[in-house]
Amino acid sequence: MQRRGKLSTKKAKISPKILDKIWALEIKKRANNKCEYCGSTKYLNSHHIYDRTNYNTRRDLDNGVCLCSKHHFFSNEFSAHKTPMDFIEWIIERRGEDWKRKLRLKMKKKQAN
């Protein structure tokens, strides 16, 4: 909005839902729109490693992984939700202990009021 030839300094508010959608798109983009486990390009989901209810890491790209729906929800052999221990071992092996340590610190960081 312009007033007297100047741009307004009011910041535009972006809804939390839009920010979550942007996060999900960025996770998929980073993975070249492929499941990071099997390489599938169909039915992709952006999965939070630490639950999205933790606002410290909710929109942190280090807290996301692109998975096909099979490896996100449905496979009894390997999926983030049905075989969480296998998933955690896989993601740490893929991204490393340093990544795990940094993400954990971000997750535990006390939120400002």
At 50-71, the pLDDT tens digits run: 999 999 999 999 999 999 999 9
Q: End-to-end CA distance of the chain, in Å?
A: 30
Q: What is the mean pLDDT of residues 81-95?
A: 97
Beta bridge partners of 45: 67
Q: In the structure, what pLDDT confidence band is assigned to residue 11 with cuts at 50, 70 and 90?
A: low
Domain ranges of the chain: 14-108
Kindly state the tokens that stand for 106.
């971000």
pLDDT at 10: 58
Give CA separation, 45 vs 16, 56, 93, 104, in Å.
18, 21, 21, 22
The answer to whether 72 touches 90, Cβ cutoff 8 Å, is: no
The answer to whether 106 touches 56, Cβ cutoff 8 Å, is: yes
Whether residue 113 has pLDDT greater than 50: no
Pairing of strands 64-68, 2-3: unpaired
pTM, two decimal places: 0.84
Average pLDDT, the chain: 90
Q: In the structure, what pLDDT confidence band is assigned to residue 109 with cuts at 50, 70 and 90?
A: confident
At 12-37, the pLDDT tens digits run: 688 999 999 999 999 999 999 999 99
